[in-house]
Homo-oligomer: A and B are copies of this chain.
């Protein structure tokens, strides 16, 4: 083995011209982006290329809080272990006969995250998924029969966007370990069920707890979808308002964006469930699969609903565009009716405003030049004629149906 230690850095100098550190993009002159966005764009290229499985914590991540729920069929305890990770580990080790839910919220402490990873035997890539920006719902089997489940919790906020947070679940022989980056979540309903005196949850395995967590997240999709459905209904009601604003289409397309996004969230959820159902019974026991089959049905129904909403929204957009075109039609009709009636009238009155002389400069009569003007009944007759023209046109437009307000 002669690793040639002398060569490395000495040989490197000729290389720089090949791959200069200056980004060739910088040399271009007319950036299509505002300066601030351009800076962001450049920044993004810097971040890329880290070792896979490198743990990173966003600077604004919250300080982790750790809560331990321990339970047996008869007993139940709930203790916060924030800043006391060693105590938590000790307690877990001392109580193998209990089932535990280790509930970690907030990622803002990288060393703690690394200790959690080691203590609970997680793979760095899994931990990267936990801490990363966005991970689709998925399931992984590791260590032969442990599960790593990712779910996405959604909430439809009053300002019409879908917030989604990630819930990462790891199962172990007698515990479930969950991660999320916010202190608040949608799992309180589950905690309350634990606190209830005769909770079935306490009697079931920790694998069932993992299912129950997954199911609560899935259940939260329904109010989200229902809120979207309600909003679509509101838009449907508004679309024929005469005063509807120009930006209504904007809203329609925004809610469409939400539905598309929701579909993207739920689609992997369905795949996840279906993958769980295909896992061997050693990993997911048959009786638990009955529950997951139920969850699978729910995911499919949520997808179905999202598809229907998509159809409804495009119908809505069609209606909007047709209505827009209808309004133009109406504007044109008004213009056409008024112009068609008055332009001929204006011609007629213009005709009799002409100055053709009835006498030449010598006083001779020019009897062919506008004798109407000298008729005693010229003016009344003209008024009758004009009225008749108007009546004729109104009748024509009425028969065309242009006078109906619709």
Residue contact A76 to B290, C-beta cutoff 8 Å? no
One of A166-174, A276-284, A370-378 at the interface: A370-378
Contact A300 B342 (CB under 8 A): no
CB distance from A228 to the nearest CB of B (A): 10
Q: Are B329 and A328 in contact, with the CB atoms below 8 A?
A: yes
B79 touches A264 (CB 8 A): no
* Docked complex: A337-368 residues within 8 A CB-CB of B: 338-340, 342-347, 349-361, 365-366, 368
Q: Does A112 contact B (CB under 8 A)?
A: no
A349 touches B338 (CB 8 A): no
Residues of A155-205 whose CB lies within 8 A of B: 155-160, 183-191, 193, 200-201
Q: Is the CB of A184 within 8 A of B18?
A: yes
Report if A219-B49 is in contact (Cβ < 8 Å); known contacts: A157-B28, A249-B319, A304-B136.
yes
0/1 interface trace, chain A 84-116, chain B, CB 8 Å (1 if under):
000000000011011000000100000000000
Near B by CB (< 8 A), chain A positions 1-44 give 1-5, 7-9, 11-12, 14-15, 17-21, 24-25, 28, 30-34, 37-38, 40-41, 44
A312 within 8 Å of B (CB atoms) = yes
Q: Which residues of chain B have C-beta atoms less than 8 A from A400's C-beta?
A: 242
Q: Of B25, B201, B339, which one neighbours A338 at CB under 8 angstroms?
A: B339
Q: Which B residues are CB-close (under 8 A) to A123?
A: 290
Contact A12 B78 (CB under 8 A): yes
Given A159-B32, A246-B406, A378:B369 Cβ within 8 A: yes
Q: Which residues of B contact A117 (CB under 8 A)?
A: none
Given A189-B50, A350-B346, are A321 and B331 neighbors across the interface (CB < 8 Å)? no
Q: How far is the CA of A128 from the CA of B298 in the complex (A)?
A: 12
Chain B residue at minimum C-beta to C-beta distance from A325: B324
Contact of A231 with B304 at beta-carbon distance under 8 Å, contacts A52-B291, A222-B48 already known: no
Q: What residue of chain B has the Cβ atom nearest to residue A96's Cβ?
A: B1
Q: Is A253 an interface residue (CB 8 A)?
A: yes
Give A288 Cβ to nearest chain B Cβ, in Å.
Answer: 11
Say yes or no: B34 contacts A234, CB within 8 Å.
yes
Given A160-B32, A324-B322: A75 and B4 within 8 A (CB)? yes
Check B128 against A294 for contact (C-beta < 8 Å): yes
User: In residues 298-349 of chain A, which contact B (Cβ within 8 Å)?
Assistant: 300-301, 304, 307-308, 311-312, 315, 317-329, 331-336, 338-340, 342-347, 349
> Pick the contact of A336 from B135, B334, B376 — CB < 8 Å?
B334
Q: How far is the CA of A219 from the CA of B48 in the complex (A)?
A: 6
Is A223 touching B45 in the complex (CB atoms < 8 A)?
A: yes
- Whether A30 lies near B158 (C-beta < 8 A) is yes
A394 within 8 Å of B by Cβ? no
Q: How far is the CA of A25 from the CA of B401 in the complex (A)?
A: 35
Q: Is the CB of A158 within 8 A of B373?
A: no
Give bound CA distance, A142 to B277, whole Å.
15
A118 at the interface (CB under 8 A from B): no
* B380, A376: Cβ atoms closer than 8 Å: no
User: Which residue of chain B has the shortest Cβ distance to A72 in the bound complex?
Assistant: B3
Task: Give 6 pairs: A residue, B residue, CB < 8 Å, sorted on A.
Answer: A1-B72, A246-B326, A332-B332, A352-B356, A355-B355, A369-B379
